[in-house]
A and B are shown apart, each in its own frame.
Chain A
Amino acid sequence: MGVSAAAPLWGPPGLLLTIALHPALSMRLAKASVALHRDYCILGAGPAGLQMAYFLQLAGRDYAVFERTPGPGSFFLRYPRHRKLISINKRYTGKTNAEFNLRHDWNSLLSHDPRLLFRHYSRAYFPDAGDMVRYLRDFTHRLGLQVLYNTTIAHVTLDKDRQAWNGHYFVLTDQKGQAYRCSVLLVATGLSVPNQVDFPGSEHVEGYESVSVDPEDFVGQNVLILGRGNAAFETAENILGVTNFIHMLSRSRVRLSWATHYVGDLRAINNGLLDTYQLKSLDGLLESDLADLAILKDREGKFHITLKYFLEEDNTNQSADSISLPQDDNDNFAMRVAYDRVIRCLGWNFDFSIFNKSLRLNSGSAFGKKYPLVRASYESKGSRGLFILGTASHSVDYRKSAGGFIHGFRYTVRAVHRLLEYRHHGVAWPCTEHPITQLTSTIIRRVNEASGLYQMFGVLADIVLLKENATAFQYLQEFPMQMLAQLETLVGRTARHGLFVINMEYGRNFSGPDKDVFFYDRSVGHTEDAWQSNFLHPVIYYYRDLPTEQEVRFRPAHWPLPRPTAIHHIVEDFLTDWTAPVGHILPLRRFLENCLDTDLRSFYAESCFLFALTQQKLPPFCQQGYLRMQGLASTESLRQHGVESGLLRGYSAAGRHPEDSSQQPGERDPAGHPPAPEPPGQSLEGNKEEL
């Protein structure tokens, strides 16, 4: 496809029309209508689509974003209906570490521009949706992202072609019949179809997407809300003060997000109705399967709840007066009262309609039909090269982590981009390489500040790939941990000498809808009990060999990864600050040492000097520092502390007997301190022979 053909066609649609009408250009048109090519096509200019566009732009890739509305983030123009975002905008953390602060910023997208942080867009802890629209617009414009607005992709088909990156092209057709041929298709369309449950009388129900948000419209009414998510409670919250009562009906029990640690469950900010329900204020919650129900409208336009079963018994007359109601038999039936309004807030589904069958983009069976089925790499199981991003990709960690929300998927999008960079451009997953003596520090640094690990706990994990003989290592950030077995082929790095996986986890039995998360003694303080930590804490897995796909798939129940060779939990911390020398760093170092079978302590140059002249081998810290003329000098005050602690030997001036002046190596001093630095097993004297 020549540039000459492409240039006018990417212009405004009006121009396209003029060109088409010009007979002299008919040849050109025929050529153009074949399809415009883009390496990467992104569907949807919402947060996920824009986030991916940013990474592609940064990498200098050929891409375009297709957006059916005239601006980015159109979802937020209407939703949430009551305009309050429930993702927190925490502007103050007491810290200046930008990466750390992202842990508490749930709205910003990732970029290099510090002005594009959401805290500059709203002062509210729960910001207004309009601010999000403004933010996304700025994000697009400031970064110069290429978005084709007013382009509704109506149809996506597959075009087999051996030359294509993935063995086929994705052919997108917009509302005007223009085709676009894409090597990789990135679907970030979110969940856009309201979930509707079909039952008799469902036509009487108003939807969340269209119901009035003016409380005046509900004054003195009996309201029934179907559903128990944040939308349902948000709706109830809005009209709580003016209705006679609100009843909420859904199949499952209410799940409180502070009990489940899942941000998609009912947030405390929306749970006013729970308060009034439990404080005997006429509002109430009921559990029943909607599919069993029927709604009847009576002559006065009020709604009665009955069972579908009754309707089927008597299908001659459908009026409320003749159909039997539950209360006819059971006069204390809870929903015997007539309702003025029934509102449906049952969530959303992914829009599968535009995808041709040949793409085999199916809905997952596990969590209902809400989400398309994807692998842990976010690639569709049906067609290679088709990735699902953003909210629609939440099937990977539904009800577990934050992959369905901006603060989570901004990281999974980055992971997908890194996978693509290696697959199509040979750019290996970015990593840093360090000597082994830096291993403890590198891990400590990440678990203390990394936001991707913190938000996408259990989904994205850092990987340490050891070099031969464990003298050095590579550090890879935020790899989709369920793809661990395929790591080598996905990131372009080798894992032949063992690896560590750094993940963050809640305690295994801590979270859940009916768990008491405030139980006494819920926190663990002792390092030896770290594995019983309940709050989110770092967990490090050590594998001598890369696990196989089989092992990942058939891992033990409730384990995020296969059984490792060894495991370490860093004890939970009230401040999420894992830098305590003895409480956090020391046990981690011991774990790493025992996995690598080496000594990872640090030593002053003076100690290395002593070892260098009295031992044939040196600990890694001396080898990689002192011997390379980068030893660590001690100062007078530090040396004094060292002698007091028994870790350093004091050598006083001449005249005194050497024996008195220092502690013998290998011996413990009376206070029970560990021996002065010595390789374990033998003291200096141990090897001496008689002449």
Chain B
Amino acid sequence: MMSSSLNAFRVGISFVTMCIFYKSPVHSLQEVSPQKYFSTLQPGKASLAYFCQADSPSTSIFLEELNQAVRPLQDYGISVAKVNCIKEETSKYCGKGKDSMKAYLFRGNILLREFPTDTLFDVNAIVAHVLFALLFNEVKYVTTQEDLQNTENSLKGKADIVFSYVRAIGTQEHRAVMEAAFVYGTTYQFVLTTEIALLESIGSEDIEYAHLYFFHCKLVLDLTQQCRRTLMGKPLTTLNIHLFIKTMKAPLLTEVAEDPQQVSTVHLQLGLPLVFIVSQQATYEADRRTAEWVAWRLLGKAGVLLLLRDSLEVKIPQHANVVFKKAEKGVPVEYLVLHDIDLIISHVENNMHIEEIQEDEDDDMEDPDMDIQDDEVAETVYRDRKRQLPLELTVELTEDTFNATVMASDSIVLFYAGWQAVSMAFLQSYIDVAVKLKGISSMLLTRINCADWSDVCTKQNVTEFPVVKMYKKGKSPLSYAGMLGTEDLLNFIQLNRVSCPVNLTSIREAEEYLSGELYKDLISYSNVSVLGLFSPTMASAKEDFTEAGSYLQGYVLTGIYSEDDVLILSNKYAVTLPALLLARHKEQKIESMPLVGTSAQDMVQIITDALLEAFPEITVENLPSYLRLQKPLLILFSDGSINPQYNKAILTLVKQKYLDSLTPCWVNLKNTPVGRGILQAYFDSPPPLPVLVLVNLHSSGHVFAFPSDQTITEQNLILWLKKLEAGLENHITILPAQEWKPPLPAYDFLSMIDAAAPQHPARKVPECMKETDVQENDKEQHEDKLTIRKEPIETLRIKHWNRTGSFPLQRAISGDIFDVITRSATGIW
């Protein structure tokens, strides 16, 4: 009872909205008597009438199709009616038997054409035929080459031609052409043929399909000259033709002197890319000729502009002569060096596929790849699932044992979930740690599966996986924040054997600490030992340092010395108190720095920075800490250890501060084989090693290579860097700047549900529909065909923009593009 009354209410709502939006004519086929029909004909208005016997069956295939044609024809100002002839009716249009029933097209009360019902075989045929009859003058039908030539000649210098070949009259492509002619017929001469021979004569190859050419005749002044022709590359649909003609209308070449990133033309709005030919004052004439040539070649595929470098305010790379801007929003422009027009063309064409509207209704749902795992962690963990891990080396905790265990001994707990791939991958490293620590560490390695003991994990504040925490007596649990790998976790556990900062109590102990004697077994886990020197009165500085030290607990060794005789140390290392001493054990070097007015946070920063090396070997593990510096990387790729000469050369430059704006580093391909993948990305063919490159990761993504014919010496390097700075070097590649989009589509269950439902659940349109809703509805109608059509956002935007531009709500629900174009539907007849 409840539900039925609710439904009634809903029907009420939708009815109201229907009234609002469908106030323009009714869309069902009107049935009238002949008398009534002829009395309603308005002068100048076109009308299609199907005459039939009143007693004939009310449904037939033809009537169904006719019914469907009511809407589209009304959009062109053509009314449609079914006229029921009564037996004694004398009207000549009422034929004699069922077979002689015909449809008639009138303008006012003048008969224009009569159609046997079999020519109007479907809705496309109806619309195509009716428009064809009405647009008799605007669309010229030709059958011979001569006809075409005559038409072309007569229009040279006057108007352009839209020439199309369709396989048959009354087809969908014919309808598309007619609909285009309806809009553009007064601007361009439309010429139509169904003759294959004619198409062959103008040099088309793939005659299988419909073709549409734009003949640029208006510009032709010499009658002997042929009109230039541009072939539309896409299938003949109403939308494609519209887009094509729009680009034909756009100026061939535009001159601009502004930042290419900001430039927008009609091409971008139509989803086409822009090509800027960079020009200089000196070569302007030649550049312009080149640009025009390119523009003709790219007509309909991209917009071409001439960019005047001299009057440009923004800087563009020195050598770039072409700028390429994709239609997608937010994609940065590409600066290219292309010395051949063909390269420009091919660059555009190679990038075209993205913009293309996918007209063929490929069913994405059937793409088998969607069910194939493309997550490397998930897949590898799954493939490894049957391997037995030596789990017994770690203690498995439960709700009952958790508290007792972590209270009884110093423990590390791995919180993981058996179903979560990342934590299961890490479990392997964790077990490796257990293997390595077996018998040598008092730390108890434990784990708890949060899929089984959810409440325990929640109580420990663990809401994501994996998490590693260290529980030590009398201390609050310490979360591990390092890399999820064997080495780093091992270092963390080892360094946690001492509680940092270590309080050193004698000069001798401090010296032992600095020399590495004191924690001999630990210095291999921390390359640097940090010692804070404070006079006993510096309470707040000491406090800050203690805070910094405990923050870095487990990652670096820190100690503190603040006995009365601290001056001995500060004098020895020539630094004023408070101060920091950094002992680099590998290099057996002790650095010092003053610490005046530094907050704990800054101290952490200073210490972390101090861990960085001047010319490090970059590894998978340490790259992030160097990337933090946000400087371009100067990387030497070496197969094996580095040549001492190169090492020396670069270190010298570092010392001389030549490399301050860079992060110099090197990669040992033996230790870091993935470096080969990087080289593959930088070079077309693998260069001989070692190779030195400069990677500008953080700004432009440019990669430069040190010339392979030069040796890496201080001089050569300085020279090269200077040339780089001056913009005199060409980059070898630009690193792609794409966003990481979904690798594959998802199942579109919403469409599947819609397709299965007798009615769209969303059909209840709210009364005050916003523009965006209009658009969405619009899209939905497209999806009626149970297929998922992907249209680029640009196209949708055009539809939307057109709609709001000219034809506000009259046809807001329709999916047709032409409903929005300014030419009034009723005006021309």
A interface with B by C-beta (< 8 Å): 95-100, 366-367, 432, 434, 438, 441-442, 444-445, 448-449, 527-528, 530-531, 550-551, 554, 556-557, 559, 563-564, 566-569, 579, 581-582, 585-587, 589-591, 593-595, 597-599, 601-607, 609-610, 612-620, 625-635, 637-639, 641-642, 644-645, 647-649, 651-654, 657-659, 661-662, 672-674, 677, 679-682, 684-691
Cross-chain contact of A97 among B368, B373, B453, B465 (Cβ < 8 A): B453
Question: Can you list 23 pairs linking A and B with CB atoms under 8 Å apart?
Answer: A531-B749, A531-B753, A557-B6, A568-B749, A581-B419, A585-B378, A585-B419, A586-B371, A590-B370, A598-B742, A617-B739, A629-B482, A632-B425, A633-B620, A635-B429, A645-B376, A651-B676, A651-B677, A658-B680, A659-B686, A672-B368, A680-B738, A690-B343
A648-B678 CB under 8 A given contacts A530-B749, A567-B753: no
Alpha-carbon separation in the docked complex, A413 to B29 (Å): 57
| Nearest A residue to B483, CB-CB | A631
Binds A, one of B164-172, B564-572, B760-768: B760-768
Taking A601-B377, A614-B678, A614-B735 as known contacts, 5 extra A-B pairs with beta carbons closer than 8 A to each other, sorted by chain A number, are A556-B761, A604-B425, A642-B376, A645-B380, A674-B369
* Interface flag for B220 (CB, 8 Å): no
Interchain CB contact under 8 A, A566 and B377:
no
The closest CB in chain B to the CB of A629 belongs to B624
> Given the complex, which residues of A lie within 8 Å of B2, measured CB to CB?
366-367
A687→B481 CA distance, assembly (Å): 36
CB of B599 within 8 Å of the partner chain: no
Would B735 and A590 count as touching, CB distance under 8 A? no
- Contact residue among B464, B670, B746 (Cβ-Cβ distance under 8 Å from A568): B746
Across the interface, which residues of A come within 8 angstroms of B669, CB to CB?
654
From residue B259, how far is it (CB to closest CB) to chain A in Å? 19
Cross-chain contact B674 with A616 (CB below 8 angstroms)? no
Asked if B651 lies at the interface with its beta carbon under 8 angstroms from chain A, I say: no
Give per-residue flags for B448-488: 1 if the beta carbon is below 8 A from chain A beta carbons, else 0: 00111111000000011100000000000000011111111
Query: Interface residue tally of chain B, by bracket?
Result: 35 or more
**Is residue B36 within 8 Å, beta carbon to beta carbon, of the partner chain?**
no
In the complex, what residue of chain A is closest to B678 when comparing beta carbons? A613
Contact in complex: B374, A674 (CB < 8 Å):
yes
Q: Is the Cβ of A633 less than 8 Å from the Cβ of B383?
A: no
Q: Which 10 A-B pairs have the closest CB atoms?
A: A633-B485, A556-B761, A579-B419, A651-B673, A593-B742, A599-B740, A641-B383, A590-B746, A614-B681, A616-B737
Q: Which of A613, A647, A661, A677 has the most CB of B within 10 A?
A: A613
Given A441-B464, A642-B380: A527 and B764 interface contact (C-beta under 8 Å): no
Complex Cα gap A528–B366 (Å): 9
- Expressed in whole angstroms, the minimum distance between the Cβ of B612 and any Cβ of chain A is 12
A679 B747 Cβ-Cβ under 8 A: no
Q: Knowing A550-B766, A630-B484 touch, does A689 contact B337 (C-beta < 8 A)?
A: yes
Q: Quick one: given A581-B382, A612-B627, A658-B679, are A653 and B670 in contact (CB under 8 Å)?
A: yes
CA distance A569 to B746 in the complex (A): 11
Chain B residues near A586 (CB-CB < 8 A): 371, 373, 375, 378
Q: How far is the CA of A627 from the CA of B627 in the complex (A)?
A: 8
**In the bound complex, do residue B375 and residue A602 qualify as a contact, i.e. CB atoms below 8 Å apart?**
yes
Q: Could you tell me if B680 and A684 are in contact, using CB atoms closer than 8 angstroms?
A: yes
Bound Cα distance A353, B416 (Å): 55
The answer for the CA separation of A594 and B744 in the assembled complex, in Å, is: 8
Cβ-defined contact, A566 with B376, below 8 A: no
B730 touches A97 (CB 8 A): no
Q: Are A606 and B455 in contact (CB under 8 A)?
A: no
Complex Cα spacing A502 to B764, Å: 24
Contact present for A602 and B740 (CB under 8 Å): no
Q: Would you list which residues of chain B between 473 and 510 have a CB under 8 Å from chain A?
A: 481-488
Which chain B positions have C-beta within 8 A of A647?
A: 373-376, 379-380
Contacts of A100 in B (CB 8 A): 454
Partner of A605, one of B3, B432, B483, B739: B483
CB-defined contacts of A556 to chain B, threshold 8 Å: 761-762, 764
Which residues from A are CB-within-8-Å of B621?
605, 631, 633
Within 8 A of A (CB), among B703-750: 730, 732-750
Chain A's closest residue to B481 (CB) is A630
The smallest C-beta distance from B392 to any residue of chain A, in angstroms, reads 18
- Is B695 at the interface (CB under 8 A from chain A)? yes
Q: Is B422 an interface residue (CB 8 A)?
A: yes
Complex CA distance for A441 and B462, rounded to whole angstroms? 13
Cα of A635 to Cα of B635 in the assembled complex, Å: 26
Most buried by A among B380, B482, B746: B380
A528 pairs with B686, CB closer than 8 A: no
Q: Which residues of A contact B383 (CB under 8 A)?
A: 641, 644-645
- Within 8 Å of chain A (Cβ to Cβ): is B372? yes
Across the two chains, which residue of chain A brings its CB closest to B453?
A96
A688 contacts B684, C-beta separation under 8 Å? yes
Q: What is the chain A residue whose CB lies nearest that of B480?
A: A630
| A11 smallest CB distance to B (angstroms) | 38
Q: Which of B10, B734, B743 sits near A687, CB closer than 8 Å?
A: B734
- The one of A582, A626, A687 in contact with B373, judged by C-beta atoms closer than 8 angstroms, is A582
Docked CA distance A590–B660 (Å): 44
User: Which A residues touch B732, using CB under 8 A?
Assistant: 691
- Residues on A with beta carbons closer than 8 Å to the beta carbon of B418: 579
- Please measure, in the bound complex, the distance between the C-alpha atom of A145 and the C-alpha atom of B814, giving whole angstroms: 64
Among B334, B483, B681, B744, contact of A684 (Cβ-Cβ < 8 Å): B681
With A100-B454, A617-B740, A647-B380: A569-B749 Cβ-Cβ less than 8 Å: yes
Contact of B624 among A597, A628, A649 (CB under 8 A): A628
Chain B residue, CB-CB nearest to A648:
B376
Q: Is the CB of B463 within 8 A of A434?
A: yes
In the complex, are the beta carbons of B380 and A648 less than 8 A apart?
A: yes
- Cβ contact of A567, chosen from B10, B377, B749, cutoff 8 A: B749
Contact of A658 among B620, B676, B743 (CB under 8 A): B676
Whether A679 contacts B736 by the Cβ 8 Å rule is: yes
User: CB-CB < 8 A to B426: which residues of A?
Assistant: 632
Q: Is the CB of B425 within 8 A of A554?
A: no
Nearest CB in chain A to that of B623: its residue: A609
Given the complex of chains A and B, what is the CA–CA distance between A649 and B454 in angstroms? 36
Cα distance A614–B739 when bound, in Å?
A: 13
A603 partner residues in chain B, CB cutoff 8 A: 376-377
B520 within 8 A of A: no
CA gap between A229 and B33 in the complex, in Å: 62
Task: State whether B371 touches A630 (Cβ < 8 A).
Answer: no
For chain B, residues 402 to 455, give those with C-beta under 8 angstroms from any C-beta of chain A: 417-422, 425-426, 428-429, 432, 450-455
B821 contacts the other chain (Cβ, under 8 Å)?
no
Q: Confirm or deny: B280 has a beta carbon within 8 angstroms of a beta carbon on chain A.
A: no
- Give Cα A673–Cα B372 distance, bound, in whole angstroms: 7
Tell me how far the C-beta of A398 lies from the nearest C-beta in chain B, rounded to whole angstroms: 11
A97–B452 Cα distance when bound, in Å, is: 5
Whether B387 is near chain A, meaning CB under 8 Å from some CB there, is yes
A690-B337 contact in complex given A609-B674, A616-B736, A651-B677, C-beta closer than 8 Å: yes
Q: Does B338 contact A (CB under 8 A)?
A: yes
B701 contacts the other chain (Cβ, under 8 Å)? yes
Q: Per-position contact with A for B676-693: 1 when CB-CB < 8 Å, else 0?
A: 111111101010000000
* Max count, chain B CB within 10 A of own CB: residue among A594, A614, A684, A685: A614
**If A444-B419, A679-B741 touch, does A637 touch B398 (CB 8 Å cutoff)?**
no
Asked if residues B741 and A599 are in contact (CB atoms below 8 Å), the reply is yes
Cβ–Cβ contact A97 & B454, under 8 A? yes
Q: How far is the CB of A113 from chain B (nearest CB, A)?
A: 12
| Residue B357 at the chain A interface, CB threshold 8 Å | no
- B338 with A689: CB separation less than 8 A: yes
Contacts of B378 in A (CB 8 A): 581, 585-586, 602
B336 within 8 A of A: yes
Bound: A317/B448 CA distance, A: 81
- Which residue of chain B has the shortest Cβ distance to A586 in the bound complex? B373
Instruction: Tell whether B86 is near chain A: CB-to-CB under 8 Å.
Output: no
Q: Smallest Cβ distance from B396 to chain A, in angstroms? A: 12
B552 to chain A: closest CB distance in Å? 13
Chain A CB within 10 A, most for which of B370, B378, B421, B684: B378
Q: Given A96-B452, A587-B746, A638-B380, does the pair A633, B484 have CB atoms closer than 8 Å?
A: yes
